[in-house]
Amino acid sequence: MKKAFFITPPTGLWVREDRCQSPIEKTMFAVIRPPLRLGLAAAILEEASYKCAIADYPAEDKGWESFKKDLKEFDPDILFVSTVFKTRNDDFRAFRIAKNNNKNIFTIMKGSPLGDDAGALEECAELDIFLTKEIDRSLISIISRENLHQTTGITFRENGNIIKTPPAPFIKNLDALPFVARHLLKNNLYRRPDTLEPFTVIQASRGCPFKCIFCSAIVGSGQVLRNRSPQNIVDEIEECVNKYEVNNFLMGAETFTCDKKWVFNICDEIFKRDLKINWYCNSRVDTIDRELASMIKKSGCYAVSLGIESGNQETLDKMKKGTSLTQAVEAVQVLKDAKIRTYLYYIIGFPWETREMIHETINLALKLDGDISDFYFAHPLHGTELYKMAKEQNLLIEDNNFVCDFRIDSSHVSFKEQSKLCRSALLRFYLRPGYIFKTLAVIRSPKVAYRIARMGLSTLFKLVKATRF
């Protein structure tokens, strides 16, 4: 029986599963998510009688020596590494170690479709193949190395040459995919930061019908929304509850509330099965209304994440967000009235932004008063419209195979000043007495209180001391 080893390398805690590829330590709501990408791939290979193992080294706080030990003990035929564009160069180390241990091991990297995949193989001679987008059902033929030239969505090495095939088509019937192989995961590692209860992610849909110029969702999962059936989604939820004793979920979707009828059917399915669960989701301000808020609250929704992005309408229009400031204010109020927490996110640093525009965003964040508010700098990710704009305007500091950044020192606001504004905004937001009292009022556990206090003090210390956020 052939063996496959699926790993998240010990290169730091990152959000690795979706478009928001960010270091967890720099987020205000620090959630360590289970590696769904690895779990799904392992489930597919188990169906084909492979013996599989999964190791999430950052989540376990284990380093390279643990990986070397596991590699020798398990002695896999295949090493499958999950990566994000910021860690890719460091993740290559896993392949070098693996090939040194067994020169015949077949090495696979799966990651974001952002950047030059051929460059990954050029950078790392020990990497055999790179996978992008939705190659889930092609895994068996890829690993057996059958008809690689006819397999879409891969970049591989052959006779010293690097060959890249056309992009893989998006999977239409997501119900046909197996559930994540959670029996291979250490599910106790993944917990809600506010309650410390076991937590997991249910990938409910793929694709995004919107056109935000900064977002890689379209690049990664396409613009056509593909939903799993409500029955299939709740089947997986029920398995998590009954088999793994997990009752807290993120409904994984680019925008979970795009299809109101579909959301209502999911809620109805939860009611029918009398599942006592807690969940949160990503949404948009133009998809929230009182009827929906009431329904999701009854089914166990305790929080909704909203990309507010900006407090300036001109900026919202230029980023093609397709929302208004009025919609943002109304959506947040609707959720608050329904007793649903709001996690609100903002972006600064677009090429056209002035100091006044940034202050409008900060003021809106204070006005909306989300339970969590976080600020990000705009990054021109490969494949996005923002990347094309930044390149045309010569705004890229670095533009290599894997990562790029803005040159924010512009005629409007310098990068240094934007950093100061960002830190100041976070300090103003989180040091308000009203916010502190509100946060303390909902804490019921001494362990949670200690954790939140420690996280808060650590974050505030970094904000005060850091030269940039």
- Summarised one tens digit per residue, pLDDT across range 57-103 is 999 999 999 999 999 999 999 999 988 877 888 899 999 999 999 99
Among 61-70, 111-120, 369-378, the minimum mean pLDDT is found in 111-120
Residue 468 binned pLDDT confidence (cut-offs 50, 70, 90): very low
pLDDT value at position 379? Answer: 79
Instruction: Tell me where in the chain the CATH 3.40.50.280 domain(s) lie.
Output: 3-164
E strand or H helix at 160: none
pLDDT value at position 335? Answer: 98
pLDDT value at position 469? Answer: 38
Q: Virtual CA dihedral for 340, 253, 423, 448, nearest 10 degrees?
A: 50
pLDDT value at position 198? Answer: 95
Q: Does the pLDDT of residue 383 top 60, yes or no?
A: yes
- Summarised one tens digit per residue, pLDDT across range 10-33 is 988 777 666 666 666 655 556 789
Q: What is the mean pLDDT of residues 328-337?
A: 98
- Summarised one tens digit per residue, pLDDT across range 138-170 is 898 898 888 899 898 899 988 889 999 998 889
Write the DSSP string, 85-138: TTTHHHHHHHHHHHHHH-TT-EEEEEE-S-S-HHHHHHH-TT--EEEESS-GGG
- In the beta sheet, which residues pair with residue 106? 78
Residue 401 binned pLDDT confidence (cut-offs 50, 70, 90): very low
Percent of the chain exceeding pLDDT 70 equals: 86
Q: Is pLDDT larger for residue 278 or for residue 375?
A: 278
Nearest to 221 by CA among 150, 304, 320, 132: 132
Q: What is the mean pLDDT of residues 253-278?
A: 97
- Summarised one tens digit per residue, pLDDT across range 441-452 is 666 666 666 555
pLDDT value at position 176? Answer: 95
Q: Does the pLDDT of residue 464 top 60, yes or no?
A: no
Q: What is the mean pLDDT of residues 178-203?
A: 94
CATH homologous superfamily, domain 3-164? Cobalamin-binding domain (3.40.50.280)
pLDDT value at position 24? Answer: 67
Nearest to 191 by CA among 59, 309, 283, 371: 59
pLDDT value at position 395? Answer: 77
- Distance, in Å, from the CA atom of 187 to the CA atom of 175, rounded to the nearest integer, reads 23
Residue 466 binned pLDDT confidence (cut-offs 50, 70, 90): very low
Fold of 191-465: TIM Barrel (3.20.20)
Q: Is pLDDT larger for residue 143 or for residue 229?
A: 229
Q: Where are the alpha helices (DSSP H) in 227-282?
A: 230-244, 260-272
Q: What is the mean pLDDT of the chain?
A: 87
Write the DSSP string, 347-373: EE--TT--HHHHHHHHHHHHHHT-SEE
pTM score > 0.75 for this model? yes
- Distance, in Å, from the CA atom of 180 to the CA atom of 42, rounded to the nearest integer, reads 8
E strand or H helix at 226: strand 226-227
Instruction: Tell me where in the chain the CATH 3.20.20.70 domain(s) lie.
Output: 191-465
- Summarised one tens digit per residue, pLDDT across range 421-434 is 888 888 888 888 87
Q: Is pLDDT larger for residue 408 or for residue 142?
A: 142
Q: Does the pLDDT of residue 201 top 80, yes or no?
A: yes
